[in-house]
C-alpha cells in the first residue's frame, strides 16, 4: 500500500534533454558572444555536470584555465555576465523549438492530474529557464499545473543538497513517503534520497552510464516499458509508456535498486 499524493519533477534531463540540446550549446554561444575562445565539447560538459548551477560551473572551469581573469572578483563578474548571456541564449533556443519534452512526460503529467495527484517542479536551475521551457510546452498558464515550483533562487545549496526537496515538501505540506521524485542524475537522486523521498529514474543522455544508487526504479525513459528495473509487464495496447499505476506499484514495493549490480 502507499499514499503517494504528489509527483516531484526535476527539470534538466528529466522533463527534457536540456543539457544536451540547450544549456551546453548556449554556454558556447555565450563564450562566443563575449569574444572568448572557450568552448565546451560534449565530453567536457559531461564532466562539468558534476557541478550543479551554470554560474558555479563556469567558475569551476575557470580554475583549470590559464586565460581566466586573475582575481576572484573579476572571475565572479565574468561568470555572472556569461551566465546571464547563456540563459538568454537558452531561452531563445527553447522558443525556437530546439528543446522538446522527453516522450512520456506529458502523458504522465496529464494522467497524474486526472487522478487527482499534485505535481511540483523541484529543480536547482534558474527560474527563467524553467519559465522558458514550460511556457513553450505547457503554455503561458503553465504555473497553474504545479502545486509548487522550487528553483535555484529559492535555495542556498543546490542539489545534491536536499534543500530544494525539503522546501517542496514544506510547500506541499506532505511527508517524503507521500511523494515520488523523478530524476535523471546521480546528484538529483542523492538530493531526493537525502530528503527520504522515493525516486524513479528515467536516465538522460548524459547520465546513461552514471552510477545511480537507491532508486525505486531505473530505466531508459518514461516513453517505454522496456529496460526498466524492476521490470514492467509488456504493454497490452499500442501505448508502451510507463503509467501512473507503474510508478505507484514501484513505490508500494519500495525496494531500492541500483543501476549496476
Ligand atoms: C541542473 C543544473 C543546472 C543547469 C543549468 O539542475 O545543474 O545548473 O545545468 O542551469 P537540476 P543554470 O537537475 O536541479 O535542474 O544555468 O540555470 O544553473
Ligand atoms: Mg536533472
Share of the chain above pLDDT 90, in %: 89
| Atom 16 (ligand 1) nearest CA | 54
Nearest 10 degrees: CA dihedral of 223, 229, 232, 238? 20
173 burial (CB, 10 Å; 0-12 / 13-18 / 19+) is exposed
- The CB of 54 under 6 Å from ligand 1? The reply is yes
pLDDT reading at 61 higher than 80: yes
| Strand, coil or helix: 38 | coil
Q: Is residue 12 annotated as part of the catalytic site, yes or no?
A: yes
Whole-model pTM?
Answer: 0.95
Share of the chain above pLDDT 70, in %: 97
Q: Which bound ligand lies closest to the C-alpha atom of 122? A: 1
Mean pLDDT of 227-248: 92
The whole-number pLDDT of residue 21 equals 87
8 Å CB contact between 238 and 220: no
For residue 66, the CA-to-ligand 2 centroid distance in Å is 30
Identify the residue with better confidence: 261 or 158.
Answer: 158
Q: What is the CATH number of domain 6-17+100-253?
A: 3.40.50.1000
- The CB of 12 under 6 Å from ligand 1? The reply is yes
Most informative mutation of 12, 25, 199 for ligand 1 (most atoms within 8 A of CB): 12
> Please, which residues have CB within 8 angstroms of residue 149's CB and are 6 or more apart in sequence?
120, 121, 127, 130, 143
Mean pLDDT of 16-43: 96
| Atom 5 (ligand 1) nearest CA | 54
Q: Is residue 10 annotated as part of the catalytic site, yes or no?
A: yes
Which numbered atom of ligand 1 lies nearest the CA of 86? 16
Cell numbers at 96, concatenated? 525556437
CATH architecture observed for domain 19-95? Orthogonal Bundle (1.10)
For residue 183, the CA-to-ligand 2 centroid distance in Å is 6
Tell whether the torsion through CA atoms of 40, 41, 44 and 47 is positive or negative: positive
- Alpha-carbon span 127 to 114, nearest angstrom: 26
pLDDT reading at 261 higher than 60: no
For residue 205, the CA-to-ligand 2 centroid distance in Å is 11
| Atom 7 (ligand 1) nearest CA | 52
Beta bridge partners of 6: 118, 179
Mean pLDDT of 232-239: 85
8 Å CB contact between 120 and 8: yes
Per residue in 83-105, pLDDT (tens digit) is: 999 999 999 999 999 999 999 99
Residue-range domain boundaries for the chain: 6-17+100-253, 19-95
Cell numbers at 58, concatenated? 563556469
The whole-number pLDDT of residue 255 equals 67
Question: How many Cβ atoms from other residues are within 10 Å of residue 56's Cβ?
Answer: 16
> 237 falls in which pLDDT band (50, 70, 90)?
confident
For residue 130, the CA-to-ligand 1 centroid distance in Å is 10
Compute the mean pLDDT over every residue in the chain, rounded to the nearest whole number: 95
Specify the DSSP class assigned to residue 140: T
8 Å CB contact between 211 and 201: no
Q: What SS3 string covers 185-244?
A: CHHHHHHHHHCCCCEEEECCHHHCCCCCCCECEEECCCCCCCCCECCCCCCCCCCCCCCH
- The CB of 161 under 6 Å from ligand 1? The reply is no
The whole-number pLDDT of residue 259 equals 67
pLDDT reading at 248 higher than 60: yes
Which of the following is catalytic: 3, 12, 81, 154? 12
Amino acid at each position: 500500500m502507499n499514499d503517494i499524493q504528489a509527483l516531484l519533477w526535476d527539470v534538466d534531463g528529466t522533463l527534457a534533454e536540456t543539457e544536451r540540446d540547450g544549456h551546453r550549446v548556449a554556454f558556447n554561444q555565450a563564450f562566443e558572444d563575449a569574444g572568448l575562445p572557450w568552448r565546451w565539447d560534449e565530453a567536457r560538459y559531461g564532466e562539468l555536470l558534476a557541478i550543479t548551477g551554470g554560474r558555479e560551473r563556469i567558475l569551476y572551469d575557470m580554475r583549470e584555465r590559464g586565460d581566466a581573469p586573475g582575481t576572484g572578483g573579476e572571475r565572479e563578474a565574468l561568470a555572472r555576465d556569461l551566465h546571464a548571456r547563456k540563459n538568454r541564449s537558452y531561452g531563445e533556443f527553447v522558443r525556437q523549438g530546439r528543446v522538446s519534452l522527453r516522450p512520456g512526460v506529458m502523458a504522465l503529467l496529464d494522467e497524474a492530474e486526472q487522478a487527482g495527484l499534485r505535481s511540483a517542479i523541484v529543480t536547482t536551475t534558474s527560474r527563467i529557464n524553467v519559465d522558458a521551457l514550460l511556457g513553450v510546452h505547457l503554455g503561458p498558464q503553465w504555473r497553474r499545473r504545479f502545486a509548487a515550483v522550487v528553483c535555484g533562487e529559492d535555495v542556498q545549496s543546490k542539489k545534491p543538497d536536499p534543500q530544494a526537496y525539503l522546501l517542496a515538501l514544506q510547500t506541499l505540506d506532505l511527508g517524503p513517503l507521500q511523494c515520488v521524485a523523478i530524476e535523471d542524475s546521480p546528484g538529483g537522486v542523492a538530493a531526493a534520497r537525502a530528503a527520504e523521498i522515493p525516486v524513479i529514474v528515467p536516465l538522460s543522455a548524459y547520465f546513461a552510464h552514471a552510477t545511480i544508487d537507491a532508486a525505486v526504479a531505473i530505466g531508459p525513459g518514461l516513453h517505454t516499458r522496456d529496460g526498466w528495473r524492476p521490470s514492467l509487464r509488456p504493454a497490452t495496447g499500442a501505448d508502451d509508456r510507463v503509467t501512473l499505476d507503474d510508478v505507484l506499484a514501484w513505490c508500494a514495493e519500495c525496494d531500492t535498486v541500483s543501476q549496476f549490480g
